[in-house]
Amino acid sequence: MNYSAVIIGTGRIGFTLGFDKKREQPASHTMALMANKRINMIGAADSNPENLEKWKKYTKGKAVTFTSSQQLYSSLHPDIITVAVNEDSHMEECLAAIKAKPRIVILEKPVALNSEQAKKIADCASEYKVPVMVNHERRFSKDYLIAKEYLNKIGDIQSVTGELYSGLRIYAPEFEKDGSYSLLHDGTHLVDIVQFILDEKLENPLVTGIYRDDKSIVRNFTALYKCQKCPLVQIKMSGRSKFFSFGLDILGTQGRICLGNGYAKFYQRKESKLYTGFYSLTADKSVKIPKKTGYFANMVQNAVDFLDGKDSLKSPLSIAIDDLLVLEEIKNALAE
């Protein structure tokens, strides 16, 4: 059985990142959906006519296009609706998608601008009985899945540090109206993967190391947590960096895991080659890291497996809302 799909939003994550030759492909919703043999792409909607024209050309005219989601839903009744619009349109477009009654909605992260909007989405999804999955892509990435399994080999977890460095502002109240700040846009990935790896919720942070620029925009912070599996969890973000970096450092009593964008390293306690009577951390060369992580393709496959009744959703709406609540606790501390 095949499933029909449409996409709302044919911009970067919806479409054009699929042409980035440096990224692992597929790197957009369009390309990931079309690469799956069980899915038939039948339509798209976007208010930008130039985006639509490029998208239609790419699909070789096999799918129809519309200038609004309302027009699309009045003509098509797909099994899968992917919502890949800007953050400030997530709630509106996701509610419309749910009310169109597909078998599933795939929503680009973050869920919404705030938890109040997210609750409206959750209530609507419950009312219409439409499951929603959120594209927290690292949950489907093979390197992070390997890391999650490898936790059993590094002893007791001593600390977990999640770091995200970029040049995008971290937070200021005036950017909440459209979500154009890194705490929401990028922080959702960082918080989600830490909670995924630990299988625990992050709550009650101690937010420190706050740096504001001359316009009172937050550019740096560190949020400290203590949870059952780990006495020290750090979420560190910088918006002053002249580079982009995303990574995790997990320190155990007998090993270490370091992974992020472009790297994955695993270490084990071994008799030291440097000091007599000591042990050192040595790279575990037995861990095989695949050249392709399958982060986007695996997300789409999870949706197909769910529709087939073979699997549960690995990134359901409820977990994504938990991520948003963690970010809001940090945001509240930054706003004080």
Cβ neighbours around 62 below 10 Å, total: 11
CA distance 267 to 255: 5
Pair 29, 297: CB distance under 8 Å = no
Question: What is residue 336's predicted lDDT score, i.e. its pLDDT?
Answer: 80
Which amino acid, 53?
E
Per-position DSSP letters for 247-280, written without gaps between them: EEEEEESSEEEEEETTEEEEEEEEE-SSSTT-EE
pLDDT tens digit at each of 336 positions of the chain: 899 999 999 999 999 999 999 999 999 999 999 999 999 999 999 999 999 999 999 999 889 999 999 999 999 999 999 999 999 999 999 999 999 999 999 999 999 999 999 999 999 999 999 999 999 999 999 999 999 999 999 999 999 999 999 999 999 999 999 999 999 999 999 999 999 999 999 999 999 999 999 999 999 999 999 999 999 999 999 999 999 999 999 999 999 999 999 999 999 999 999 999 999 999 999 999 889 999 999 999 999 999 999 999 999 999 999 999 999 999 999 998
How many C-beta atoms surround the C-beta of residue 47 within 10 A?
14
Residue-level pLDDT at 83: 98
CA distance 183 to 335: 12
DSSP 286: T
Nearest to 205 by CA among 187, 225, 219: 225
Alpha-carbon distances, residue 157 vs 150, 152, 229, 252, 324 (angstroms): 12, 9, 7, 4, 25
Q: Are 7 and 82 in contact (CB under 8 A)?
A: yes
CA distance 1 to 329: 44
| Residue 83 host element (H or E) | strand 80-83
| Residue 167: φ, ψ to 5° | -100, 5
pLDDT given for residue 75 in this prediction: 98
Number of residues assigned to the chain: 336
